[in-house]
């Protein structure tokens, strides 16, 4: 079973929309087998920051595979109970464009007059 998971295993991620599956690379399967060595299911809360970044990177780079593509028979390496929250990086503040400012001034002047 271990060799099947290493060669063809998938990671199941339970999301609010239901179970989703990731097809990891060989290196990622090695790491996931080690990560899930004692448990079949892990909540995202027990993972450290590096492990969360690893899984988040897999989710964003590889994307989820549809079950209709024949992955329903693939061995499941492990199940992550909640997709980790992606850290929102604050976007740089934007200045309003000149056309918006002009339109606001025009609207304010037309109401006054």
List the end-to-end C-alpha distance of the chain, in Å, as a whole number.
80
On the question of pLDDT at 67 being above 80, the answer is: no
Residue 99 is assigned to a structural domain of this protein: no
Residue 32 is assigned to a structural domain of this protein: yes
Averaged pLDDT, 99-106 = 59
Residue 89 is assigned to a structural domain of this protein: no
- In whole angstroms, give the CA distance from residue 53 to residue 92: 23
Residue 31 is assigned to a structural domain of this protein: yes
On the question of pLDDT at 79 being above 60, the answer is: yes
Residue 87 is assigned to a structural domain of this protein: no
Residue 113 is assigned to a structural domain of this protein: no
Q: How far is CA 103 from the centre of its chain?
A: 40
Residue 20 is assigned to a structural domain of this protein: yes
Range(s) of the domain holding residue 9: 2-80
Structurally, the chain folds into a number of domains equal to 1
Reading the block at residue 110, the tokens are 């037309």
């Amino acid at each position: 079973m271990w060799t099947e998971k290493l060669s063809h295993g998938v990671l199941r991620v339970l999301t609010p929309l239901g179970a989703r599956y990731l097809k990891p690379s060989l290196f990622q399967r090695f790491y996931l087998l080690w990560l899930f060595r004692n448990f079949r299911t892990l909540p995202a809360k027990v993972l450290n920051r590096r492990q969360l970044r690893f899984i988040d990177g897999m989710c964003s780079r590889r994307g989820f595979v549809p079950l209709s593509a024949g992955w329903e028979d693939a061995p499941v390496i492990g199940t992550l109970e909640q997709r980790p929250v992606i850290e929102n990086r604050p976007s740089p503040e934007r200045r309003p464009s000149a056309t918006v400012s002009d339109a606001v001034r025009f609207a304010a002047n037309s109401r006054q007059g």
